[in-house]
Amino acid sequence: MTLTRAFLAIIRRDLVLAFRRRAEMINPLLFFILVITLFPLGIGAQPNLLQAIAPGVIWVAALLAAMLSLDGMFRSDFDDGSLEQMLLSPHPASLLVLAKVIAHWLVTGLPLLLVAPLLAVFLGLPSHALGVLLLTLLLGTPVLSLIGAIGVALTVGLRRGGMILSLLVLPLYVPVLIFAGNAVQMAASGLPVDAQISILTSMLLLALVLAPWPTAAALKMSIH
Amino acid sequence: MFLIPDSFVRFFHRMASPPHFYALTERLMPWLTAIFILLVGSGLYGGLYLAPPDYQQGDSYRIIYIHVPSAWMSLFIYTVMAAAGAVGLVWRIKLAEVVAISSAPVGAGFTFIALVTGSLWGKPMWGTWWVWDARLTSELILLFLYLGVIGLYGAIDDKRVASKAVAILALVGVVNIPIIHYSVEWWNTLHQGPTVSKMDKPSIHVSMLVPLLLMALAFKVYYLIAMLQRARVEVLQRERSAQWVRNKFFGTAS
């Protein structure tokens, strides 16, 4: 089997598995919506206030939803041993890992984009900022999946890795949150956001190149 | 390897052996302690007694003799930890793994001290305990990175595997620290503007600089002491069934 076919086969397999268990796919989305709903209830429904905090709140909620969904990335493959087979294959482990991360993002990260417009309406985000919000989500959530994969790979062998996973991953999410949140805020006040978008793009490219590498090393360590 | 002198290679190979490391550090410890007391004594005397009060900040500036060296150490130790972790990953040297994990709590301690002293200094200067200043914020995130390393090491039972995990995490952290630092700086300047009156640095006077450098050296030696003590305990724990540990603590009867 060539590398390209192995790569595509892993993505297809993971997508099929995900669609057979649709309930798990919906969970991060519901979490995303629920957290956003809690904010007006907690701080009061003044439109000005909500509009001011909307970019930050949407991004923090997206970040938490992405983090919660991480745990499933390697869990079932680790439990049934297919992860071991994958790492034993002649293809570079980092690329196969990248395929798994892409598949994971397609089922957990991409749907966040679909509900984001609804949530932007909930919080009264100006409609001209919506495009930038979607663009930052499109560029930012893959970075979250890629960085998160390192954390999951380090903790997949642990029985209770959930808490420690958030401790490992959240500090590394800070730059994405800063630039994405800021871009949406700037767009809401009608300012140009080229710089933030360029930096987010470079973060995505950097993560695409660098992150699969430690992830593969950490998976090999977790399996030992 | 031909670029490295032979004696240097031999030193490393011997340091990589736990019994030799244990014996050597036992002999070094009194010397290190003496140097530390000397440095910290002269540094504090120079900083708290000899150096004149600042013309603007009065005596409150003297906290820099703790704060600045701690902040320097917090980054320095993370770098050492990642470097030791990398050595452990590449050459599988057990002692490098031990040094990496023994550094983490010391580094977290220095980071915490830097945060607390920064906040104590901020109260009279900025009028509030906490400002989302770029440096304070990135120091806080550095503390979280340290806590992640310590937490991960504690969560994995097999300590050899745990050291590998910690090394990978520390290396990922080292790549990320500059990114985090600069994004926080950028975030801060965008949100607050230059309202935070940062201490202008009118080239610090020699009578203030010398104690500061002495304290920085003292903290480095303290780190060495604390890290080596932790490393010695860690080595004993890992090698508890080895012959040399038995010989050392229960006599030669076997």
pLDDT tens digits, B104-125: 999 999 999 999 998 888 888 7
Q: How near does any CA of chain A get to the CA of B190, in Å?
A: 9
Instruction: Report the C-alpha gap between B30 and B28 in whole angstroms.
Output: 6
Residue A102 CB partners (closer than 8 Å, separation 6+) = A11
Q: Do A157 and B156 touch (CB under 8 A)?
A: yes
Cβ of residue B141 closer than 8 Å to a chain A Cβ: yes
Q: Could you tell me the pLDDT band of residue B253, with boundaries at 50, 70 and 90?
A: low
Instruction: Report the C-alpha gap between B219 and B187 in whole angstroms.
Output: 31
Task: Name which of A108, A126, A120 is nearest A25 in CA terms.
Answer: A108
The angle at the Cα of A93, spanning A89 to A95, to the nearest 5 degrees, equals 115
Cβ of residue A171 closer than 8 Å to a chain B Cβ: yes
Cβ of residue A110 closer than 8 Å to a chain B Cβ: no
Cβ of residue A148 closer than 8 Å to a chain B Cβ: no
Mean pLDDT of B232-239: 90
Q: Which two tokens stand for residue A188?
A: 């809401």
Q: How near does any CA of chain A get to the CA of B1, in Å?
A: 26
Could you count the other beta carbons within 10 Å of the beta carbon of residue B79? 14
Q: How near does any CA of chain A get to the CA of B86, in Å?
A: 12
- How many CB pairs (< 8 A) connect A and B? 69
pLDDT tens per residue, range B37-63: 999 999 999 888 888 877 777 777 888
Instruction: Report the C-alpha gap between A13 and A138 in whole angstroms.
Output: 23
What ipTM, to 2 d.p.? 0.89
Mean pLDDT, chain A, rounded, equals: 91
Contacting A residues, span 52-81, partner chain B, CB-CB under 8 Å: none
pLDDT recorded at residue B1: 52
Q: Do B148 and A155 touch (CB under 8 A)?
A: no
Instruction: Report the C-alpha gap between B85 and B172 in whole angstroms.
Output: 11
Residue B40 CB partners (closer than 8 Å, separation 6+) = B215, B218, B222
- Give whole-number Cα distances, B144 to A70, A167, B104, B180, in Å: 19, 7, 11, 12
CB A197 within 8 A of CB A134: no
Give the nearest chain B residue to A217 (CA atoms).
B168
Q: Can you give chain A as a three-state secondary structure string?
A: CCHHHHHHHHHHHHHHHHHHCHHHHHHHHHHHHHHHHHHHHHHCCCHHHHHHHHHHHHHHHHHHHHHHHHCHHHHHHHHHCHHHHHHHCCCCHHHHHHHHHHHHHHHHCHHHHHHHHHHHHHCCCCHHHHHHHHHHHHHHHHHHHHHHHHHHHHHCCCCCCHHHHHHHHHHHHHHHHHHHHHHHHHHHCCCCCHHHHHHHHHHHHHHHHHCHHHHHHHHHHHHC
Cβ of residue B157 closer than 8 Å to a chain A Cβ: no
Task: Name which of B123, B115, B136 is nearest B184 in CA terms.
Answer: B136
Instruction: Report the C-alpha gap between A141 and A163 in whole angstroms.
Output: 21
Q: Measured between beta carbons, which residues in chain B are less than 8 angstroms from residue A175?
A: 176, 179-180, 183
Q: Is this model's pTM higher than 0.95 or not?
A: no
Cβ of residue B164 closer than 8 Å to a chain A Cβ: yes
Q: Which two tokens stand for residue B137?
A: 């914020």
Query: Which residues share a beta bridge with B54?
Result: B58
Cβ of residue B183 closer than 8 Å to a chain A Cβ: yes
pLDDT tens per residue, range A112-165: 998 999 999 989 888 889 999 999 999 999 999 999 999 999 999 887 777 889
Give the nearest chain B residue to A212 (CA atoms).
B172
Interface test with A, best of B161, B168, B191, B192 (most A CBs within 10 A): B168
Instruction: Report the C-alpha gap between A157 and B71 in whole angstroms.
Output: 35
Q: Measured between beta carbons, which residues in chain A are less than 8 angstroms from residue B136?
A: none
Could you count the other beta carbons within 10 Å of the beta carbon of residue A85? 10
Domain ranges of chain B: 30-49+62-249
Q: Do B168 and A178 touch (CB under 8 A)?
A: no
pLDDT recorded at residue B92: 85
Amino acid at B34: A
- Give whole-number Cα distances, A16 to A65, A79, B41, B183, in Å: 22, 18, 68, 38
